[in-house]
Structure 1
Amino acid sequence: MYAVAEAATTAYFGTKVYARGIVEFSNVCTKDCFYCGIRKHTKVHRYTMTKEEILACAEFAYSQGMGTLMLQSGELPSPERINFMLDVVRAIRRRTMDLACESPPFPSAGPNQRDFPSQRGLAVALSLGELPSSVYQAFLEAGASRYLLRIETSNPTLYTRLHPASHSFQARRKCLEELQRIGFQVGTGVMVGVPFQTVEDQANDLLFFKELDPDMIGLGPYIVQSQTPLGKLWLEEHGEESAAKQEANRVALLERTTRMYALARIMLGNVNIAATTALEALDPEGRELALRRGANVVMPIITPQRLRGQYEIYENKSGIDQDALDSTACLERRVRMAGKELLLDGGWHDPPHFVRPSVE
């Protein structure tokens, strides 16, 4: 299975691995998901980066040749936040397009930069949660081109066990469908190994991906956050287990998660699949393993170091004590260890799956 997944990845992407810089610009959230470390009712210092701080991260990502900037935050659908983000998206596009015009192209600039002049500067990806269709449309018109909205589980019954009654599985799925209709390059994903999840649920997650037909998949293991309702429940059941049992569970969860990577690649073919940072909470080489089992994207965190510890959606998150340059350099070395090449040429690198809308 892993060999077939690697062969499929190589057929579509060769040994190239795409990089998308993540900026966790705010941990303010109105949601109360039972598993999340920045849920509304968790005690954590709340922050929101300024526009200039976000732009500084964008300039860093561009200077490193990442090509795409992912802006991620807790969910806050207020008019003030939406207007702020519209301004930020426009500013990132303007500033990085100006940088592209002022400086020569990257030495290894890919063909898509020549074929699509609009793909100059950074592509802007957003992960801001559930919003009205009109807001998604406004973000697209402002210059964002990608949107990540994880479904977390395709089982509506399990979804209700992981979220308060005010959270709706159907509403979240409708948002994914609206994002596709509007024209975004859409990503989604699930947690693997979350309490109450069955193997049948995981199989149905894969079938859900096949039905939805997204352009990008993000798969991450469930990592305990002890201050959350779900984390406390998990600790009641597993907290007294021996070190040997805990180690066996860790190894089993890593295997369970990377099997999902392999099966997603085999079933979906030419989509982008991200090796998520959470894998490193299970194994220091977890992301390298995922890159050998179907993944072709890494997402280095370039949030300012002073804020990283405040965006701990799960415990033992890696890279909290690194700055953006260290994170990027470390990731480049580790991609090489996986026998791959991190592509830092400034290209947007859409997956072959995504068909760019025609422009009249």
Structure 2
Amino acid sequence: MDKIINIIDELYEKSNLPDEKLVFLLEKLDDKSRDYLINKAYQVRKKNYGDTVYFRGLIEISNICKWNCQYCGIQSSNKKVERYRLNEKEILDSCHKGYLLGYRTFVLQGGEDSYFTDDILESIIVKLKEKYEDIAVTLSLGERGYDSFKRLYNAGADRYLLRHETINEDLYKKLHPKMELKNRVKSLENLKEIGYQVGSGFLIGLPGLEMKDYAKDLIFLKKLEPHMVGIGPFIPHKDTSLKDEKGGTAYDTITLLAIIRLLLPDVLLPATTALGTIDPQGREKGFRAGANVIMPNLSPYECRSKYTLYDGKKFSNNESAEEKEKIIKSVIEAGFKPILTRGDNIKWKRK
């Protein structure tokens, strides 16, 4: 017990661990030492971001995707999905409604839909930035070339989310047919070089992975030093080849949130919808373990049930204003302070 506490203290003090100690921590953590870990993570969160929870307005702009990722409900081979795509006006209208509700960050997320060319995305970003001077625009639209990333950044995009999903190359190849992990890693490096606030992250509970395997994901993130990290449990989807696999747990997800907070003290760290899906109190537990971001859905109501990356997705058909107030209430009741500003990473400055 003393050894594991000493390792947690070292991680708390140095924001890093030798590889072998990180593996030991993941393998030997018990409930009591995990409580200690979570408390230390909360201390770091409080030091850097206080008790704030940053709100992002999430707009799922398309569930059309050219790839066939085996864990994903909107994979290209799934013929049961009712596909949709928002046009420019629908996207701008969704952002406007969100702006009137107080949101100052908008996350445009979707599958890798070839419809969204640089011309179309540039037009959307420019119009948003010209109309609303105090907002941040986040993109989460998969891999693109360097020149595309650069053009969208120059148009005004501030952040880009691109999870690496797993740094295990063999598993990555198995789960991502015709895709290469090296391309994902290069995209992340390009995004950081260009000047984005960069987000990466991984899935917890993918078939065949053990807790010790996440050490490699954590080491990769520490080397990358992203501004944001999004992790969440793998939840099987009924129309994929992994439908009968066991999913990830809230327990492991929250443990890894705490470790990430200690490894990357300044990081923006969401408590994801997936975590809230498998545990009704998952997001609140995530905040107490170091998470400090939440992303309520601003997508048109008729689209929300169609953007099903996994089964049982937690979404609401409430009016956005009603949903926002409900989430704000839950954040306050958990002891945190909801904030609707841009909420940038504390160390990021636009180039």
State the TM bucket, normalised to the shorter chain.
0.7 to 0.9
1:92 deviates by 1.2
Whole-Å Cα distance in 2 between the matches of residues 81 and 355 of structure 1?
Answer: 27
For 1:111-130, what aligned pairs fall within 5 Å after superposition? 120=134, 122-130=135-143
- Structure 2 counterpart of 1:331, which letter? I
Q: For the Cα contact (< 8 Å) 1:176–1:186, is it kept in 2?
A: yes
1:156 deviates by 1.0
Whole-Å Cα distance in 2 between the matches of residues 195 and 338 of structure 1?
Answer: 33
Which residue is 2:317 aligned to? 321
Which residue is 1:59 aligned to? 96
Query: What TM-score results when the alignment is normalised by the length of structure 1?
Result: 0.84
1:320 deviates by 4.0
List per-residue Cα deviations over 1:253-300 (Å, max 9, x = no partner). 111010000000011101100110001221111111101111001111
1:215 deviates by 0.2
Structure 1 residue 350 and structure 2 residue 344: aligned? Answer: yes
Which residue is 2:160 aligned to? 147
1:77 deviates by 3.9
- Structure 2 counterpart of 1:230, which letter? L
Whole-Å Cα distance in 1 between the matches of residues 265 and 281 of structure 2?
Answer: 24
Instruction: Tell me which moved more, 308-317 or 57-66.
Output: 57-66
Q: For the Cα contact (< 8 Å) 1:58–1:96, is it kept in 2?
A: no
1:3 deviates by 0.3
1:139 deviates by 0.3
Q: For the Cα contact (< 8 Å) 2:196–2:350, is it kept in 1?
A: no
Which residue is 2:237 aligned to? 225
1:325 deviates by 2.1
Whole-Å Cα distance in 2 between the matches of residues 73 and 160 of structure 1?
Answer: 21
List per-residue Cα deviations over 1:228-248 (Å, max 9, x = no partner). 11224x1xxx6xxxxxxxxxx
List per-residue Cα deviations over 1:70-105 (Å, max 9, x = no partner). 000101245x633211111111112223xxxxxxxx
Whole-Å Cα distance in 1 between the matches of residues 103 and 44 of structure 2?
Answer: 24
What SS does the aligned partner of 1:70 have? strand
> Equivalent of 1:2, from 35, 38, 42?
38
For 1:31-46, what aligned pairs fall within 5 Å after superposition? 31-43=67-79, 44-46=81-83
Whole-Å Cα distance in 2 between the matches of residues 230 and 173 of structure 1?
Answer: 25
Which residue is 1:174 aligned to? 186
List per-residue Cα deviations over 1:171-225 (Å, max 9, x = no partner). 0110000000111110011111111112222111111110111000101101110
> Equivalent of 1:96, from 132, 136, 148?
132
Instruction: State percent identity of aligned pairs.
Output: 36
Which residue is 1:281 aligned to? 277
Q: For the Cα contact (< 8 Å) 2:64–2:74, is it kept in 1?
A: yes
What SS does the aligned partner of 1:275 have? coil
Which residue is 1:100 aligned to? none
Which residue is 2:207 aligned to? 195
What SS does the aligned partner of 1:25 have? strand
Structure 1 residue 86 and structure 2 residue 122: aligned? Answer: yes
1:323 deviates by 3.4
Whole-Å Cα distance in 1 between the matches of residues 201 and 318 of structure 2?
Answer: 26
Whole-Å Cα distance in 2 between the matches of residues 3 and 12 of structure 1?
Answer: 15
List per-residue Cα deviations over 1:10-35 (Å, max 9, x = no partner). 00011111111110011110010000
Whole-Å Cα distance in 2 between the matches of residues 96 and 188 of structure 1?
Answer: 27
**Tell me, which stretches of 5 or more residues in structure 1 are unaligned?**
98-119, 239-248
Whole-Å Cα distance in 2 between the matches of residues 76 and 305 of structure 1?
Answer: 20
Superposition RMSD on alpha carbons, in Å?
1.5
Change (3 A) 1:231 1:342: same
Query: What TM-score results when the alignment is normalised by the length of structure 2?
Result: 0.86
